[in-house]
Amino acid sequence: MFDLFFKAVCGGYDKNFSYIIGDPKEKTLGLIDASISLENLQSSLDLAYKKGYTNISKIFLTHSHHDHIAYLAEIQAKTQAQVYAHQAAENRIQKIIDLKINYIHHEQILNLGSEQIRAIHTPGHQPDCICFIWRNKIFTGDTLFVEGCGRCNFPESSPEDQFESLHFIANQLDPNLEVYPGHNYGSVGHSTIAREKEVNKYLKTKDKNIWLALRAGNGKLEV
């Protein structure tokens, strides 16, 4: 009866992940990022429907880059889901899609049925980057990858903010949180904050100037 649903789906523009999460009590589904087409989400959604879940009721966007909102219009039109993004995305998403967005802020608690999702603002890669914490999982978008982090050489990027955001993740959050990134760029699909603190140079490097030099040197390696 209280069968938790969680599924990672990989594909999209460049090894993107979308994640389907379910509230086992109210049997409603949430989607982290709209990176994967409905067609390619369908087999995972069918698994959820077999467990008694209904349709996607909320879509949570880790940021407004094109690959993360690629199928937003399609999925929202089909599901009528409410859409959540950081308030810094306000002028970005609506230039691309005519859609009602619920804008959220740092440390806002969101509901998915009876489940709670904590939004953490993590600017750097983009000003509107958010990580979402649900149960024992953190969805990190392009803020933190397994063994890497999002590039910071877009015009809107801020390497200094990225350093602070990663510092926050490394030092202020539960190290046992499982890390689910926006792209499948690591040697494994997901990780933990504790593991990343051991193996990820962007979490290991504590000196800001060394970190900035490291990030600048690798600026073109990742999306």
C-beta of 63: minimal distance to Fe ion in Å?
Answer: 6
9 or 130: whose CB is closer to Fe ion? 130
Measured from the CB atom, the residue of 26 and 222 that comes closer to Fe ion is: 222
Give the one residue of 27, 65, 137, 190 binding Fe ion; rule: CB under 5 A: 65
Question: Which residue's CB is nearer to Fe ion, number 9 or number 29?
Answer: 9
Of 8-16, 28-36, 37-45, 135-143, the window that binds Fe ion (rule: CB under 5 A) is: 135-143
Minimum Å distance from CB 83 to Fe ion?
A: 17
Decide whether 66 or 204 has the Cβ nearer to Fe ion: 66
Q: Which stretch binds Fe ion (CB under 5 A): 9-17, 18-26, 134-142, 190-198?
A: 134-142
CB of 142 to Fe ion, least distance (A): 4
Structure tokens at 71: 């199928």
Per-residue binding letters, 21-60, with Fe ion (x by CB under 5 A): ----------------------------------------
- Per CB under 5 A, 142 contacts Fe ion: yes
Give me the amino acid identity at 47: L
d(C-alpha 146, C-alpha 187), whole Å? 7
Q: With CB under 5 A, what is the number of residues at the site for Fe ion?
A: 2
**Which residue's CB is nearer to Fe ion, number 23 or number 142?**
142
| Cβ-closest position to Fe ion | 65
What string of H, E and C letters represents the secondary structure of the chain?
CCCCEEEEEEECCCCEEEEEEEECCCCEEEEECCCCCHHHHHHHHHHHHHCCCCCEEEEECCCCCHHHCCCHHHHHHHHCCEEEEEHHHHHHHHHHCCCCCEEECCCCEEEECCEEEEEEECCCCCCCCEEEEECCEEEEECCEECCEECCCCCCCCCHHHHHHHHHHHHHHCCCCCEEEECECCCCCCCEEHHHHHHHCHHHHCCCHHHHHHHHHHCCCCCC
Of 115 and 128, CB closest to Fe ion: 128
Pairing mode, strands 191-192 and 178-181:
antiparallel
The piece of 19-27, 52-60, 63-71, 207-215 that touches Fe ion (CB under 5 A) is 63-71
Closest approach of Cβ 68 to Fe ion, in Å?
6
Nearer to Fe ion, 65 or 195 (CB): 65
C-alpha torsion 29→35→38→43, nearest 10: -70
Residues that bind Fe ion (CB under 5 A): 65, 142
